[in-house]
Amino acid sequence: MSENINTRGKGSAESEDAEDDSIISLIDDEGRTSEYEILDAIETQEGKFVALMPLASIDDDTGEAEYMILQVDVVDDEEELAEIEDEELLMALDDLFRERFKELYGDEDEIPASDGGSLAGA
Nearest 5°: phi and psi at 85? -80, -30
The DSSP symbol for 105 reads: H
Which residues make Cβ contacts (< 8 Å) with residue 33, sequence separation at least 6? 6, 25, 26, 27
Q: E strand or H helix at 89, and its extent?
A: helix 87-105
Report d(CA 37, CA 23) in Å as an integer.
5
pLDDT tier for residue 22 given thresholds of 50, 70 and 90: confident
**Mind listing the pLDDT tens digit for each residue in 55-114?**
887 777 876 778 899 999 999 998 889 999 999 999 999 999 999 988 887 765 555 655
Q: Model-level pTM?
A: 0.68
